[in-house]
Structure formats: C-alpha cells, structure tokens
C-alpha cells in the first residue's frame, strides 16, 4: 500500500505537492496582523484554552503595525528557505496566527493579493475559524480563486473535536452546525478545506477521537491536520495541567491513537500534519514530542510493522454534506 504514497503509508501533503509540482514545497508563515473573536472580546477575551499568546502561530515573523507588509515577511521567509530551494521552487504563503479572515474585506484583499503576486508564490493557506467566513469574505475568496486560476487558495478550519463537552472545555466558541455550514460554503466556491483536529484533549477517550475522524470522512474536505495536544506556557491549559486535572498522552499512546485515526481516515484526504506544531521553548508537555523526527519515524515504523495504512478501516458512508 505504501508504494501508492511514496515512502509513507499515508497520503501526506509532501507527497501530494511532490506529485503536483515535482519537488518539495515549503511554506512561509505570515502574520496578517489580525486578532480573533475569541480574544478581542466579541466571544471571549481568554482565547481557546490551549492557544498561545501568539495566536497559535509562533513561526510567523512578527507583524509590523507601523509598516504592515506581507512582502517584507515573504522576503525574510524566502531567505530562510533559500539554501533548500532555487529560483524556480515555489512556496505556499501560510497566513497562520489568529483568525486570518477576521478583518475588513479590503484589508484582507490587499494582504492576500500581496502574497499571491509575490514571485514564486504558488498558493495561499489561510487559517481561520468557521464562524469568520462572512458572505463578503466568501465572495472575496471566490473572486481571487477565479482570478488566480494557476494558483490555489486553501482554507484551514480549527475544529479540533466534534464533542460538545470538549468544545466547551476548550472554549471553542461555536457549535458543530457552524463548521458544517462553513464547509458547505467553501465547497460551493471550490476552495479546498483543511480541518485541524486535536488528539488527546482532556476527558476524550480514543473512541471519541475516532468518531471525529469518522464524522470528517462524511464531508468533502481536502486535508486534515492531526495535532497532538500541546500544553503551552502561559495558557489556561497549563494551569489545569499543573493542577493535575488531566494527563498528556505518552508517545506510545499517541502513536497507537494516531495510527487508528489514520486507518479510519478516507484515503482521499491529504494529511498535512501528524504531530504538534509549536515552538520548542514554549512547550510544557509532552516533552517527548519535541523530537519531531523521532515522532514521525516511530509512526512510520509502527505502521509498517502492523501492516497499517491510511484507510485500512475506512468505511464509506457517502458525503452527507456536499452542496
């Protein structure tokens, strides 16, 4: 089975991009200077319980409010990947921290165009919340998607879980039908959707995590990010962790749960991440996850040992949510 996706027994985004462009594609993280309704007081001021002060996007260069520019950030980001790429190698501009559709539409348009027009940019990945896709924002994405037909625009939605008790605990701030509506809207304008899921949320059983995967199989989504729960410094999650209200997953537990999620996942869905994504010096737990190479190697080794592959136990239930 692994021959299908190169050396990995699952449909990785690296494989997807390599097939499409013939080589590895890097992402450059961009800070669009936005905030989030879960932080600015519209829904809450505390943010999601796990979210770092940087809005879960510490890899982006700091946003310069005096001289807001995507170009400067792309210039800086390009320098970082220059040793690994050449002139012809494209990159993806990843609007990562906070909620990157949460601003006036003319501001968003200026930022997105600046990135799309930058030499070598092959597409955008826009991280946002399902409740921040207003009709004007959808119209803008539709317009740019048509105009830049040789590039792509992906939208990443932070779902994390389908379980209400967990959504309340993490202070997500929206209900499941809002997510479903967002996917429907993005499907209707042919924007590929990537969904973020957290594995290891306090109080969730492995079976509940598998239910989130099985639920997502019923949607027309392009990709998924499977993220290990990270306890980050100076978050409310850290307080609960310090008070021993929950335990983080061990590497063995995570590997096992992750493999079972991948086995249940539709083989058509591209996996964009299989571990956490935070800056090492901010991580409180689980510390074993700092060694990303080891996490990845252990995953692949264990999958091969078990003759495991993406979709091994996928059951077709049909899309219930295609427009």
For ligand SF4, the binding residues (CB under 6 A) are: 36, 38-39, 47-48, 51, 55-56, 98-99, 129, 158
Alpha helices (H) in the chain, listed in sequence order:
13-21, 70-81, 105-117, 135-147, 164-170, 176-188, 206-216, 236-242, 251-264, 292-305
Closer CB to ligand SF4, residue 128 or residue 289?
Answer: 128
Closer CB to ligand SF4, residue 56 or residue 161?
Answer: 56
Closer CB to ligand SF4, residue 14 or residue 277?
Answer: 277
Q: Among all chains, which residue has been given the structure tokens 């019923």? A: 218
Closer CB to ligand SF4, residue 9 or residue 55?
Answer: 55
Alpha carbons 229 and 216: distance in angstroms, whole number: 19
Closer CB to ligand SF4, residue 38 or residue 217?
Answer: 38
Q: What are the φ/ψ torsions at residue 158 (nearest 5 degrees)?
A: -85, 95
Output the smallest distance, CB 129 to ligand SF4, in A.
5
Output the smallest distance, CB 212 to ligand SF4, in A.
17
Output the smallest distance, CB 162 to ligand SF4, in A.
16
Closer CB to ligand SF4, residue 39 or residue 264?
Answer: 39
Output the smallest distance, CB 99 to ligand SF4, in A.
6
DSSP conformational letter for 92 = E
Output the smallest distance, CB 147 to ligand SF4, in A.
28
193 in Cβ contact with 155 (< 8 Å): yes
Q: Is 264 left (phi over 0), alpha (psi -120 to 50) or beta?
A: alpha
Q: Among 200, 210, 204, which residue's Cα sits nearest to residue 259?
A: 210
Output the smallest distance, CB 93 to ligand SF4, in A.
18
Alpha carbons 255 and 152: distance in angstroms, whole number: 32
């Amino acid at each position: 089975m692994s021959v299908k996706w190169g050396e990995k027994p699952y449909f990785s985004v690296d494989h997807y991009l390599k097939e499409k462009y013939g080589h590895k594609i890097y992402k450059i993280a961009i800070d669009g200077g936005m905030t989030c309704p879960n932080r600015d007081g519209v829904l809450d001021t505390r943010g999601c319980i796990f979210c770092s002060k940087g809005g879960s996007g510490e890899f982006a260069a700091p946003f310069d409010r005096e001289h807001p520019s995507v170009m400067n950030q792309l210039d800086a980001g390009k320098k970082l990947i220059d040793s690994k790429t050449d002139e012809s190698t494209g990159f993806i501009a990843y609007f990562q921290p906070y909620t990157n559709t949460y601003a006036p539409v003319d501001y968003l348009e200026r930022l997105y165009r600046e990135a799309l027009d930058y030499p070598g940019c092959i597409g955008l990945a826009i991280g946002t919340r399902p409740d921040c896709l207003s009709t004007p924002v959808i119209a803008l994405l539709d317009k740019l998607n048509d105009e830049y037909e040789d590039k792509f625009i992906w939208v990443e939605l932070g779902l994390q879980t389908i379980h209400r008790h967990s959504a309340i605990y993490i202070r997500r701030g929206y209900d499941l039908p809002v997510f479903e509506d967002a996917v429907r809207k993005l499907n209707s304008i042919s924007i590929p959707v990537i969904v973020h899921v957290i594995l290891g949320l306090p109080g969730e059983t492995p079976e509940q995590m598998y239910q989130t995967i099985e639920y997502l199989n019923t949607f027309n989504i392009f990709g998924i990010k499977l993220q290990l729960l990270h306890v980050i410094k100076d978050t409310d999650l850290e307080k609960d962790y310090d008070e021993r209200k929950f335990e983080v997953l061990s590497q063995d537990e995570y590997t096992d749960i992750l493999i079972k999620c991948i086995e249940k996942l539709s083989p058509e869905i591209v996996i964009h991440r299989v571990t956490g994504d935070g800056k090492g010096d901010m991580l409180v737990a689980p510390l074993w996850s700092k060694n990303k190479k080891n996490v990845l190697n252990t995953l692949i080794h264990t999958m091969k040992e078990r003759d495991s592959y993406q979709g091994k136990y996928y059951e077709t239930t049909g899309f219930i949510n295609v427009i």
